[in-house]
Structure formats: C-alpha cells, structure tokens
Structure 1
Amino acid sequence: MRYRSKVNTPQVTVPQGERFDRLDALRGVAIVWMACFHAAYDLNHFGFIRTNFYSDPVWTVQRICIVSLFLFCAGLGQSVALAQGQSWRRFWRRWAQVAGCAVLVSIGSWIMFPRSWIYFGVLHGIALMLILTRLAAPLGRWLWPLGLAAVLLPHFAQHPFFDSRLTNWVGLITRKPVTEDYAPLLPWLGVMMWGLAAGQWMLAHRRGWLAGAALRPMQPLALLGRWSLSFYMIHQPVLIGAMMAVLALKR
C-alpha cells in the first residue's frame, strides 16, 4: 500500500515494520527531558525546592522547548506512518490510545489539582493535531507556510471569546487559563505540521537522518522512544509516589 501526496511531495514508500532508530532516539530525548522537568516540578510542589514554574524563564523556556520537540517528533512519526501505508483503521486504533491516556491524565490531575486540573494538555492537543495533520499531509511543502501561520496567528488574532474553558483549546486567548498543563491547537499545530513536512522531505531526500542506526550511547533512548506513551503515563505516578513516600518517612 502506498502513500501518495497530491501536492508538491515526491511519492515515498517505506516497508511496514521498518524501525527508525534515530527518530526513536530523538523521541527518547524529548521524553527524558520532559521527565526531568516533571521531577523538578514535583520537587517544587512537595516543598523540596522553591521556584516559580509559571514565570521563571529557566522553566517557561524549557517547557516551550520540550513541547516543541515532542510535537515535532509526533509530526515526524506521522510522515513515517503515512509512508508505510498506515490505514485509517490502524490510525484510529493508535489515536484511541492517545485519547484514552489524555482522559486518564484529566482524571488524575483532577484528583491531585481540583482547582487547576488538566482539561487540554499535551496529550489532548496531540489527539486533535494527529487528525488534522493526517488530513493536511497531502499539502506537502505547503505545510511549511501553514505551520508558520499557525504559530503566528495567536499573536495577532486574540479575542476574549476564546478565554472560556469551552473555547480556549483553540489558543487565541487574551489571558492564560488556570491549569497545570495547557497545549492549545494554536500555535502547537504549526510545530507538528513542520515535523510532518520535515519528515516528508527527509524520507524523500535524506532518509538516513531518520532511519539510520542510532549510535550505541543513544540506543537506550531509541528503545525508550518506542514506548514513549507508556513512559509518559507511568513516570509521573512513580515520581509522585516516591516523593510522597519520602515525606511520609520524614514524619
């Protein structure tokens, strides 16, 4: 089964089941970086350290970089899946896993942070963006300017209408919502579009950048990158549980 982009993208096919170790390793870097960020966040929440994760550039800039890398990798992964001839049926099966995990994140965050629970965080955003980027994939190189428009639009089209919980998932807000994680459609859809466009180009012209074997020191990250969703869901309960156990032992 072949994936054929209709607009300005060379026809590319990839054997099903082929591993892309370098892409997996890059995804592994993103997930480890995110886990380190969350560990610091949890240390602050439980009082082991004192810092402001909402205004200190050390943390706010890191979050932007982590989410950007995460979504860029998701776009790269979309390009590989499409080149491998991923059917809509298989796509929806994977999508259901992401969406289901997003629901679990909402439930868990509501238990721990009832006043600032996560209703549209990274996984919620990814679930919506995966659908949109798959539909947009045939646009080929037009994904680059469309991605730029998505990134820039929140800076020029803000409106109070989008400040409510029912509408702020779009991203055209005038004030940030009170929530522990927030990854709206705009500007982040643009980053995933760039990942998809970059993946299409690399598969056509520099396939080894994605498919080459990872260097030996990076192989553990490649393995972790293949299980990124499972790691994402497990790492926070483990970190939080460990810190609560330490606090309990201090009493």
Structure 2
Amino acid sequence: MIQSPPHSRFEAVDALRGLAMVWMTLFHFSFDLTQFGYSKQNFYSDPFWTWQRALIVSLFLFCAGIGQAIAVAQGQSWARFGRRWGRVLICALLVTVGSWLMYPQSFIYFGVLHGMALMLVIARLTTHWGGRLWLAGALAIALKFIAVYAMSTWATDHLIDIFNAPALNWLGFITRLPITEDYVPLLPWLGVMWWGVATGHWLVKQPAWRWSQPVPKALKPLAILGRWSLSYYMLHQPVLIGGLMALGWLARF
C-alpha cells in the first residue's frame, strides 16, 4: 500500500469532480427546459447532447476511480468503504423511486448511481492491479463494442432479446438502447472507472508537493462542490424542476 497523509485531500481532484457537477447541472437544466416546453432539443439522438452526456458521465466515473485509489492508498477500511458505498446505493434507489413517479414509462433502473455502486465494488476489489488497470480499462471498453458486433452478426434473435431485456441489459451487451431516462451499464463504463483508479495510483506515487498544493482561489468553489458531490447530485434536479414549476405557475398570473 502506498502511504500518504491520512487526512490529505487532492484539491485538484475535488475541483475536477466539481467541474463535472457544474457541467451536469447545465446539461440537466437544458433538459428540463425542453421537458417544460421552454425549448426544443433532442437529447436522445442529437450528437451535441449525446456526446456531452457521455463526457459528463466519463468525467464523473473517472473522478470516482481516482477517489477510490486515493482512499485505498490512505488506508480506508472496508467498513468505511461500506458506509460510503451504502449512501451511493440508497441514493440510487431514491433516484429509481423519484424517476418512477415522474416518468413511470421510462424510469431509471440502472443509471449512473446504480452503475457506480456496482463499479465501486469491482474497483475496490481490483485496486491492487495497479498499472495493469490501464489495460483492463481498455479491454473493458473494447469488449463492449466487440460483444455487440458479435451479437449483431452471429447471435440468435432469442439471445439478443435476453441481453436487451432489463434483467441483463445492465451488463451493456445490448443492440438497442433501453427506454429509460438514464442508463450507465457496466460496460464500457467500468473501463473509464478503471482508468480513473490507474490515474489515482499514479497520483499517490508522486512527491507530495506535486499534488498537495491548494488549487487557485478561483477554483476553490469547484473543490468545495466536489467534496459534496453526492448530496449535490441528489438535490440539484429537485431544485431545478421546482424552480421551473414555480416559474410556470407564476407565468399564469
């Protein structure tokens, strides 16, 4: 295990996570504007939006991987990991319930928090792979596309339907996207988190002065936001949606 000060924080990583949260907020606000009829955008097929979503999820999972590597390097126990993991799982279940109330036909059953809960366990169990995680991540990303090609080319319709069904589509071996408001399957996204873990391993091997420096004052708000990312994630959409509902109510008077 690589030793680093037990209570040290990588403020640059916090700021990077905070950037992901701000970007996500802007994306969700744009999505909400469309849902409430204030704009007309296609978030499901327009590359401008689909690529943004992919990059936001990538940045989110990449930071989670870095954080997991740092936590292990600083001696995080399985008990402490379990407490943090439990919060992610509870929030994932709350997202499912909340999305079912709003979108019963396309509720979220395996979104970013559901995927993260599973990937964090895998990341924790494989953290000791170290630099080999770069290759593991590349293979995880490639396997997604190889498997989909193989299924589309050689698999029977029955087998394709099995992997496209909700019971197994969380693996990522799908030939069509499921009807859900958020979908982050194990593959290829585990590869992104593994790359984050590999980056975290590299960071903690560097001399302390390279990463222990505080971020510039202008980035402090991002670093603070990054430390509270899960709480912010759970609160930002209710606030945005509530604000737009209030705006619509006031516009009637």
Same fold per superposition (TM over 0.5): yes
Structure 1 segment 168-207 matched on structure 2, within 5 A = 168-205=169-206, 207=208
Structure 1 segment 203-242 matched on structure 2, within 5 A = 203-205=204-206, 207-208=208-209, 210-242=211-243
Structure 1: how far apart are the matches of 2:211 and 2:163? 38
Structure 1 segment 129-168 matched on structure 2, within 5 A = 129-158=119-148, 159=151, 160=160, 161-168=162-169
Structure 2: how far apart are the matches of 1:85 and 1:51? 46
Q: Secondary structure at the match of 1:157?
A: helix
Hey, which of these two has a bigger chunk of helix by percent?
2
Using the TM superposition, give the Cα deviation of residue 206 of structure 1 relative to its aligned residue in structure 2, in angstroms.
5.7
Structure 2: how far apart are the matches of 1:148 and 1:138? 17
Structure 1: how far apart are the matches of 2:92 and 2:139? 27
Structure 1: how far apart are the matches of 2:212 and 2:194? 20
1:23–1:211 CA contact under 8 A, matched in 2? no
Q: Give 2:112's aligned residue.
A: 122
Structure 2: how far apart are the matches of 1:143 and 1:50? 41
Q: Give 2:156's aligned residue.
A: none
The one-letter code matched in structure 2 to 1:228 is S
Report the TM-score when normalising by structure 2: 0.93
- Structure 2 unpaired stretches of 5+: 152-159
Q: Give 1:58's aligned residue.
A: 48
Question: Deviations 1:225-248 (Å, cap 9, x if unpaired)?
Answer: 000000000000000000011111
Using the TM superposition, give the Cα deviation of residue 209 of structure 1 relative to its aligned residue in structure 2, in angstroms.
5.3
Structure 2: how far apart are the matches of 1:210 and 1:60? 33
Structure 2: how far apart are the matches of 1:238 and 1:181? 19
The one-letter code matched in structure 2 to 1:138 is H
Using the TM superposition, give the Cα deviation of residue 208 of structure 1 relative to its aligned residue in structure 2, in angstroms.
4.9
The one-letter code matched in structure 2 to 1:165 is P
The answer as to 2:99 corresponding to 1:109 is yes
Using the TM superposition, give the Cα deviation of residue 207 of structure 1 relative to its aligned residue in structure 2, in angstroms.
4.9
1:42–1:240 CA contact under 8 A, matched in 2? yes
The answer as to 2:52 corresponding to 1:69 is no
Structure 1 segment 82-97 matched on structure 2, within 5 A = 82-97=72-87
The one-letter code matched in structure 2 to 1:204 is K
Using the TM superposition, give the Cα deviation of residue 212 of structure 1 relative to its aligned residue in structure 2, in angstroms.
2.3
Structure 2: how far apart are the matches of 1:207 and 1:71? 24
Structure 2: how far apart are the matches of 1:209 and 1:118? 40
Q: Give 1:245's aligned residue.
A: 246
Query: Is the alpha carbon distance of 1:214 and 1:38 closer, same or farther for their aligned partners in structure 2, counting shifts above 3 Å?
Result: same
The one-letter code matched in structure 1 to 2:87 is Q
Structure 1: how far apart are the matches of 2:29 and 2:210? 31
Q: Identity rate of aligned residues, in percent?
A: 55
Aligned length: 241
Structure 1: how far apart are the matches of 2:206 and 2:82? 29
Q: Secondary structure at the match of 1:115?
A: coil
The one-letter code matched in structure 2 to 1:233 is M
The one-letter code matched in structure 1 to 2:133 is L
Q: Secondary structure at the match of 1:51?
A: coil
Report the TM-score when normalising by structure 1: 0.94
1:22–1:209 CA contact under 8 A, matched in 2? no
The one-letter code matched in structure 1 to 2:40 is R
RMSD: 1.1
Using the TM superposition, give the Cα deviation of residue 146 of structure 1 relative to its aligned residue in structure 2, in angstroms.
0.7
The answer as to 2:88 corresponding to 1:98 is yes
Q: Secondary structure at the match of 1:103?
A: helix
